[in-house]
């Protein structure tokens, strides 16, 4: 009898152990299935996120912009713009002549108030609505009274091509594209040069009393909007060489000795004819010509305008204007404390 009870106890123990083992196995299988389902769900979510991210990718810097040429025998620059391009270039001959630079030609394709959209439309229509000017050490010369953008694109083997937006739209990036990209394509099918570097002119803000300043509220807000648009243009197109005329003007507006003639403008919109134009020419020179030819703006002794003019350039303000330009080139989007 005792033997029978002992055998029965052993059987009961074995059955309990098997039941516990079965329960544990079931739990493990259940946990494994749960973990696997969670892993699969997580993986699926990650794949969906990656797919969504890939769909929303914005291509930036799609053009590989060649560097500026260094020490070329001749430097030819095409500036596609409007009256602001004339303002930017007008004082360049004085600087080039002062420095004895005779191998630089800046060609300005001019159409008053022309936006990038209009440049694109005029390219498609081949209308001869432009004037062509050349600026070099000999001065300003009108080469054509009536020409087309495609004719001028194909005329010379330009080392640099500069684009610019219509001033009122400069702070609204939605007005830049797709027209800027299409103009770049148009140039490529017309160019004579083996390589061309692209640059962009950052325009300046209007004066406080300009009727159109209401779109941006204040000159500073207009300048900030222009900077933001130029930054976005740089990211989207790959044009990484900026001529920061707008920032140079804001630097100068901080200095009472320079902030003459209605906030450095002659009509609330266009730049002052002497110190303003010299400031823009310095900015253009520092951005493009100085790095190409390894020349220093400090060697320039330009006297621009007469003492009876508003804001003439002379020994009293020349260095200040040069500093405003150089600081803007050093930091394209920031008003410098050192410009005061």
Where are the chain's structural domains?
75-339
Q: How confident is the model at residue 339 (pLDDT cuts 50, 70, 90)?
A: confident
Q: How confident is the model at residue 317 (pLDDT cuts 50, 70, 90)?
A: very high
Domain topology for 75-339: Rossmann fold (3.40.50)
List, for residues 174-207, the tens digit of each pLDDT value: 999 999 999 999 999 999 999 999 999 999 999 9
CA–CA distances in Å: residue 261 to residues 32, 85, 160, 271, 273: 80, 20, 33, 9, 10
Q: Is 98 exposed, middle or buried (0-12, 13-18, 19+ CB in 10 A)?
A: middle
Judged by DSSP in three states, 162 sits in strand
Residues paired with residue 136 on neighbouring β-strands, in sequence order: 139
Residues paired with residue 131 on neighbouring β-strands, in sequence order: 110
Is residue 160 within 8 Å of residue 198, measured between CB atoms?
yes
Is residue 187 within 8 Å of residue 153, measured between CB atoms?
yes
Strand order in the sheet with 139-147: 139-147, 130-136, 104-110, 75-81, 160-164, 197-201, 241-243
Cβ count near 186 (within 10 Å): 17
Of the two residues 14 and 264, the one the predictor is more confident about is 264
Residues paired with residue 110 on neighbouring β-strands, in sequence order: 81, 131
Is residue 180 within 8 Å of residue 116, measured between CB atoms?
yes
Q: Is the pTM of this model over 0.75?
A: yes
DSSP state of 212: G
Q: How confident is the model at residue 22 (pLDDT cuts 50, 70, 90)?
A: very low
List, for residues 42-80, the tens digit of each pLDDT value: 555 555 544 443 333 344 456 899 999 999 999 999 999
Cβ count near 83 (within 10 Å): 18
């Amino acid at each position: 009898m005792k033997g029978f009870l002992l055998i029965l106890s052993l059987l009961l123990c074995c059955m309990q152990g098997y039941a516990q083992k079965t329960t544990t196995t079931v739990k493990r299988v259940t946990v494994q299935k749960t973990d696997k389902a969670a892993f699969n769900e997580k993986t699926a979510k990650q794949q969906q996120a990656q797919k969504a991210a890939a769909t929303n990718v914005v291509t930036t810097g799609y053009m590989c912009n060649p560097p500026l040429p260094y020490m070329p025998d001749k430097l030819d620059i095409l500036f596609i713009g409007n009256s602001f391009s004339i303002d930017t270039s007008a004082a360049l001959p004085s600087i080039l002549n002062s420095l004895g630079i005779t191998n630089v030609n800046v060609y300005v394709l001019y159409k008053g108030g022309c936006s990038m959209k209009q440049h694109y439309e005029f390219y498609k229509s081949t209308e001869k609505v432009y004037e062509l000017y050349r600026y070099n050490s000999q001065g300003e010369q009108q080469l054509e009274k009536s020409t087309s953008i495609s004719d001028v694109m194909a005329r010379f083997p330009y080392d640099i091509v500069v684009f610019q937006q219509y001033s009122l739209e400069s702070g609204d990036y939605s007005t830049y594209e797709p027209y800027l990209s299409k103009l770049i394509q148009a140039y490529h099918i017309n160019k004579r040069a083996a390589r061309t570097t692209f640059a962009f002119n950052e325009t300046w803000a209007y004066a406080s009393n300009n009727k159109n300043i209401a779109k941006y509220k204040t000159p500073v807000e207009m300048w900030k909007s222009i900077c933001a648009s130029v930054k976005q243009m740089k990211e989207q197109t790959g044009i990484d060489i900026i001529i920061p005329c707008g920032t140079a003007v804001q630097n100068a507006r901080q200095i009472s000795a320079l902030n003459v003639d209605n906030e450095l403008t002659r009509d609330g919109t266009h730049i002052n004819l002497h110190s303003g134009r010299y400031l823009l020419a310095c900015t253009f020179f520092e951005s493009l010509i100085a790095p190409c030819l390894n020349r220093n703006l400090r060697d320039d002794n330009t006297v621009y305008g007469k003492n009876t003019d508003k804001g003439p350039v002379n020994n009293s303000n020349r260095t200040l204007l040069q500093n405003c330009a150089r600081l803007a080139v050093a930091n394209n989007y920031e008003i410098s404390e050192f410009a005061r």
